[in-house]
Structure 1
Amino acid sequence: MRKRTLGRTGLQVTQLGYGSMGLRGPRTWGVRVVSDAEADRFLNEVLDSGINFIDTAPDYGVAEERIGRALSKRRDEFYLATKCGCDPVQHDDQLEIRHTWTAEVIKNNLEQSLRNLQTDHIDLMQFHGGDAHTLVEAGLVDLLRDFQQQGRIRFFGVSTSLPELPALIELDVFDTFQIPYSCLNRAHHDLITQAAATGAGIIIRGGIAHGGPDAEIQRDKLNAIWNTAGLDELLTEGMNRAELILRYTISHPHCDTTIVGTCNPAHLAENQQAVEKGPLPESLYNEITSRVKQTGQ
């Protein structure tokens, strides 16, 4: 698979990564629920396909436990990214997502993640949100540096978006940034470039989920942009909507990897084939951009 260097980390990551939110399990949210056996089979298919970057979080229900159970014996085949600042509360029928920015929560996240993932180190620990002032003043950046020196994490970054992103970039302390972006959600386009200029690696999320009428979670605003821009008219022979969106995402020159979540083997194969085709032709990329901008985005 196509690989890129994840910024200053030096990690050679596949440009198609895997986002494990879909493995969150029952009593969380949404309608996509897979069994433990299905999760085990699918995670092994992810590695068998050549993907070497897996992103997860304590906020994703039982996803970490499933990754640990299915893949701990293959730990040397992939890079493992998780998150901290996660303070979820499990109710009878749903998982309430909360983020709490204290050293206690961060330490608990690390300990729990190491146990759940059945590993002795995390390749990339990311703050799951947070603002620049809090992360610095509460000593949480220094805390992750301590974990790094102890060898419990290799690198650290932040998963974020506007309005917090600019101030976090200015800190110039993160090895990676995880940022939402797609052809229908271009608000962070220039900020991705600014983040990469610090030497940080760039992980794109929402490259498919944030676009198109075929997305698992339907967003009326994004569907309206797609339809108003007439993007179906730009699909070339053999290209479906997901391919157009995914290849647009990797056309950003600073997209090192884009994490796509699916539990469907056929979709996994389609995503891999799309990324292997590489960025869109410049003329098609420019036409998509022009049409989307004309919608006011």
Structure 2
Amino acid sequence: MQSIGQTGLRVPPLGFGTFKIGRNQNVKYPHPYELPGAAEATRLLNSILDLGCTLIDTAPAYGLSESRIGEAISHRRQEFVLSTKVGERFEEGHSTFDFSSSGVRMSVERSLRALKTDVLDIVLIHSNGEDQTILEQTDIVATLQELRSRGFIRAIGLSGKTVDGARLALKWADLLMIEYHLQDTSHAVVIDQAADAGVPVFVKKGLSSGRLNPQGSIEFVLSNPNVTSLIVGGMDFDHFRENWNTARKVRTI
């Protein structure tokens, strides 16, 4: 387990990403899939926690994901670190983006209700790719800082898409979420810079949205000592358990 700054939050090297339990439209995965039913999603989420995976990552852009987490495991809220996002929503088959102060506040309120919790452990800016514009020309960072100071959020950061955006976020972020895998190491320098700044790094798409071999990909990402956690999704508990066991060979859990 590694700590997230001074927040008191501790996370395992492998977290569970919940995209696939909530959305299957306009996706980047190579193969189509059916959404699991509510009962199946509940069994999966509880099994993930029972395994010892205490980092659950979601977002309003993940369709039904937040509400399914709220229904399935809100009664176990003290057992896991909850990460969600602001800036993007997915409704009626398409994404909309709102990085305004009012939009961020509304998004946080909706997430608190959907997830059935009084506090969001981690809230990340869900970038549309225009990282620098979002950070420099909107009030989103100041708004998140205010919500953190008021106790609605414990840690804030950027889930961005550009190296320059990630570097810019190091000035204020409690953590970063970046893409990093065998076929794209462009953020490697930022991972090192984040470590120098004492900023934890979560890796997304470490398996390139299901295009890379899980074992080799997990070993590659977690062999970088400056990566705090790798987020891996899926709908098959046995597959996730295999990934968990692979992570345990690289890192102590």
TM-score with structure 1 setting the length: 0.77
2:43 paired residue number: 41
* Alignment map for 1:211-226 (pairs within 5 Å): 215=210, 218=211
Alignment partner of 1:209 is 2:208:
yes
Q: Give, in whole Å, the separation in 2 of the partners of 1:179 and 1:86.
A: 17
Q: Per-residue deviation at 1:56?
A: 0.3
**Residue among 13, 16, 19 paired with 1:18:** 16
2:152 paired residue number: 152
Q: Give, in whole Å, the separation in 1 of the partners of 2:219 and 2:51.
A: 18
Q: Per-residue deviation at 1:66?
A: 0.2
* Alignment map for 1:1-297 (pairs within 5 Å): 3-25=1-23, 29=27, 30-90=32-92, 95-129=93-127, 130-169=130-169, 172-210=171-209, 215=210, 218=211, 241-278=213-250
TM superposition outliers: structure 1 runs of 4+ over 6 Å: none
Q: Give, in whole Å, the separation in 1 of the partners of 2:7 and 2:199.
A: 8
- Is the 1:39–1:66 Cα contact (8 Å) retained in structure 2? yes
Per-residue CA distance 1:33-84 (angstroms, 9 max, x = gap): 2111110000000100101111100000000000000011000000101000
Q: Per-residue deviation at 1:138?
A: 2.4
* Secondary structure of 2:201's aligned partner: strand
Larger Rg: 1
Structure 1 residue ranges without an equivalent (≥5):
224-240, 280-297
Structure 2 residue ranges without an equivalent (≥5):
none
Distance 1:51 1:166, change over 3 A: closer
Q: Per-residue deviation at 1:166?
A: 4.5
Per-residue CA distance 1:228-278 (angstroms, 9 max, x = gap): xxxxxxxxxxxxx32111011101111111110011011011011101101
Q: Per-residue deviation at 1:151?
A: 0.6
Q: Per-residue deviation at 1:111?
A: 0.7
Q: Give, in whole Å, the separation in 1 of the partners of 2:87 and 2:76.
A: 27
Counterpart of 1:264, as a letter, is D
- Is the 2:63–2:91 Cα contact (8 Å) retained in structure 1? no
- Superposed CA RMSD in Å reads 1.9
TM-score with structure 2 setting the length: 0.90
Matched pairs, number? 245
Q: Per-residue deviation at 1:164?
A: 4.1
Counterpart of 1:5, as a letter, is S
Q: Per-residue deviation at 1:163?
A: 4.8
